[in-house]
Amino acid sequence: MAEEKMKKGISRRLLLAEAWSWLRWLAGGLLLYPVFRFLGYRAPRQPRLVKVDKAVPVGGFALEHDFVLFVDEKGPWAVSRRCTHLGCRLNYQEKEGVLLCPCHQSRFSPAGQRLSGPAEKNLPRFAVSIQREGESAKGYIVTL
Ligand code: FES
């Protein structure tokens, strides 16, 4: 009888030890989950809408802080002013018709294509929608 009680005690003790071990693993996982989640979490980037409150004539351009808006017969388009080499702000050289980087002289076409210089990638293009007043454009909204 006493031997049977002792066996029951040992098996209960083993069961409790095993359960405690699993509980510790579970608690550790629950505590570390938010930390791993935080370390790997990246907030999704929200698109930014920029309004250009002026009509740009066909063949013209508008130089904004983050982009250059061009308009031709086919419609408007916008390219980033951030150089794909190291991120300097590009200037538009109207006479030559190129975007020129003041830092290391990378050159890009108005379409955003890399022409020369240390930059290896083309410029990103942004979506443009036209705000109309009757038949003519009164402004543009660029989605960055
Ligand atoms: S940052 Fe534009 S070429 Fe280097």
Collapsing DSSP states into helix, strand and coil, what is residue 54?
coil
CB atoms within 10 A of CB 76: 20
Domain tally for the chain? 2
Collapsing DSSP states into helix, strand and coil, what is residue 24?
helix
Nearest CA owner, ligand 1 atom 1? 86
pLDDT at 60 over 60: yes
| Confidence (pLDDT) at 11 | 85
Domain containing 11 equals 1-42
Do 29 and 61 fall within a single domain? Answer: no
State how far the Cα of 125 lies from the Cα of 85, in Å rounded to an integer. Answer: 16
14-42 pLDDT, tens digit each: 899 999 999 999 999 899 888 878 888 77
CATH code of the domain containing 115: 2.102.10.10
pLDDT at 13 over 90: no
Lowest-pLDDT range of 9-13, 48-52, 94-98: 9-13
- Ligand 1 pocket residue status of 118, Cβ below 6 Å: yes
Do 69 and 98 fall within a single domain? Answer: yes
Ligand 1 atom closest to residue 119's alpha carbon, by position in its atom list: 3
Do 69 and 127 fall within a single domain? Answer: yes
Between 45 and 83, residue with greater pLDDT: 83
Do 138 and 80 fall within a single domain? Answer: yes
| CA distance to 14, 54, 81, per residue, from 61 (Å) | 79, 11, 13
| 68 CA → ligand 1 middle, Å | 17
